[in-house]
């Protein structure tokens, strides 16, 4: 049994990861400031003797002092808003959690001799001029726009990881995560799958931004969580950046139509202005994940959407 620290534990990915680690029999300490995450995401494990929840803001210097006496084997640093709606509302906080926060968690890993995984993002590639995106592509990020607080903070977070790997020999791994979805995303999260599914199930207009020709590649959460754990486990991945995403690409218009079809919804599609700096394409090259981790996604969009729609439908029925 390992003692594993997960930041962002009450968020979408964090809560799925915590549940998976506890089911595997590990002792987990979840840290979260409940800014975008919600305690109910952790309801299933709240009373588990293997789980301890600590409410704290990891950008504060003393936020990890409570761990001083405890051995720690692994640290997953997932804390950070991820939806453009939330990271733009708290842009400075987003910069701090990915820089100062990353520094505090890397220090913890150094002192404890723990392995460390950082949740970076496909946004590190910005609005890519190379398609699809391998890890070697250095990206095209606008530093002077509404997405910069997230994209550049994640890039600097990666730099902290590089320094702790090269200077302090911390077993650091960086996951560049591409769009991941399932239930567990708040209905008001603002990201495309939660918006479209909620809108379709409640008969509201489905809001396509721009003409919907921009593309994304969607990974179901179970595939992502398996990828993160394999990345943590694999020593050959120390000091590596690895894309974790599904390489099947869809236009946003295709996603809207698929959600409409799978929910059998009468909702209309409406076209709203495309947000500034919205990347036009995004698709991961996952050769590195295949070679080093022996990982690839198993759940396609249609299958994943059906599971997601069932969960959202049940959730909406519960609250109505």
Subset of 243-262 contacting ligand UDP (CB under 6 A)? 252
Taking CB under 6 A as the criterion, the residue among 39, 84, 110, 204 binding ligand UDP is 84
Examine residue 173 and tell whether it contacts ligand UDP (CB under 6 A): no
- The residue within the footprint of ligand NAD, chosen from 6, 28, 45, 97 (CB under 6 A), is 97
Phi-psi region of 139 (alpha: psi -120 to 50; beta: other; left: phi over 0): left
Q: Is 278 in the site for ligand UDP (CB under 6 A)?
A: yes
Q: Are 232 and 115 in contact (CB under 8 A)?
A: yes
Q: How many chain residues are in contact with ligand NAD, going by CB under 6 A?
A: 29
Q: Given the complex with ligand UDP, which of 73 and 249 has the nearer CB atom?
A: 249
What pairs with residue 93 in β-bridges? none
C-alpha to C-alpha distance for 88 and 69, rounded to whole angstroms: 37
Sign, CA torsion 198/303/7/168 = negative
The 3-state DSSP composition of the chain as helix, strand, coil percent (nearest 5) reads 45, 20, 35
Position 80 contacts ligand NAD (CB under 6 A): yes
Q: Report if residue 182 touches ligand NAD, rule: CB under 6 A.
A: no
139 contacts ligand UDP (rule: CB under 6 A): no
Crossing angle of helices 12-23 and 221-233, in 10° steps, is 60
Q: How far apart are CA 23 and CA 3, in angstroms?
A: 13
Which of ligand NAD, ligand UDP, none does 209 bind, CB closer than 5 to 8 A by kind?
ligand UDP
Specify the residue, 163 or 278, whose C-beta has the smaller distance to ligand UDP.
278
Q: Which does 216 bind (CB under 5 to 8 A by kind): ligand UDP, ligand NAD, none?
A: ligand UDP
The nearer residue to ligand NAD, 229 or 267, going by C-beta atoms, is 229
Give the H or E element holding residue 288: helix 287-288
Q: How far apart are CA 285 and CA 242, in angstroms?
A: 10
- 181 an active-site residue? no
Map residue 78 onto helix, strand or coil.
Answer: coil
Strand partners, 249: 217
Asked if 59 interacts with ligand NAD (CB under 6 A), we say: yes
Residue number, 234 or 277, with CB nearest to ligand UDP: 277
How far apart CA 196 and CA 208 sit, in angstroms, is 9
Q: Is 157 in the site for ligand NAD (CB under 6 A)?
A: no
Decide whether 145 or 271 has the Cβ nearer to ligand NAD: 145
Of 194, 173, 10, nearest to 84 (Cα)?
Answer: 194
Which residues make up the interface to ligand NAD (CB under 6 A)? 7-8, 10-14, 31-37, 57-59, 78-82, 97, 101, 119, 121, 177, 179-180
User: Residues with catalytic annotation?
Assistant: 150
Which residues make up the interface to ligand UDP (CB under 6 A)? 83-84, 179, 191-192, 195, 207-209, 214, 216, 252, 275, 278
């Amino acid at each position: 049994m390992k003692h594993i620290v997960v930041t962002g534990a009450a968020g979408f990915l964090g809560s799925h990861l915590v549940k998976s680690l506890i089911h595997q029999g590990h002792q987990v300490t979840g840290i979260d400031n409940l800014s975008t995450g919600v305690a109910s995401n952790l309801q299933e494990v709240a009373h588990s003797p293997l789980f301890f929840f600590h409410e704290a803001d990891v950008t504060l210097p003393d936020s990890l002092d409570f761990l001083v006496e405890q051995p720690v084997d692994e640290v997953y640093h997932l804390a950070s808003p991820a939806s453009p709606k939330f990271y733009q509302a708290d842009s400075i906080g987003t910069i701090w959690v990915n820089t100062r926060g990353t520094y505090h968690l890397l220090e913890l890993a150094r002192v404890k001799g723990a392995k460390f995984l950082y949740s970076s993002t496909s946004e590190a590639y910005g609005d890519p001029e190379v398609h699809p995106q391998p890890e070697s592509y250095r990206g095209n990020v606008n530093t002077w726009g509404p997405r910069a607080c997230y994209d550049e903070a994640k890039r600097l977070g990666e730099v902290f990881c590089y320094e702790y790997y090269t200077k302090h020999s911390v077993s650091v791994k960086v996951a560049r995560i591409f769009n991941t979805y399932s239930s567990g995303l708040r209905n008001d999260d603002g990201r495309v799958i939660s918006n479209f599914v909620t809108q379709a199930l409640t008969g509201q207009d489905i809001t396509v931004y721009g003409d919907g020709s921009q593309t994304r590649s969607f990974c179901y959460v179970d595939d992502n969580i398996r990828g993160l754990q394999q990345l943590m486990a694999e020593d050959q991945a120390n000091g590596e950046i690895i894309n974790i995403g599904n390489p099947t690409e869809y236009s946003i218009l295709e996603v809207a139509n698929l959600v409409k079809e799978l929910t059998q919804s009468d909702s209309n599609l409406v076209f709203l202005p495309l947000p500034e700096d919205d990347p036009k394409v995004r698709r991961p090259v996952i050769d590195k994940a295949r070679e080093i981790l022996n990982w690839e996604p198993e759940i396609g969009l249609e299958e994943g959407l059906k599971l997601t729609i069932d969960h959202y439908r049940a959730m909406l029925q519960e609250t109505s």
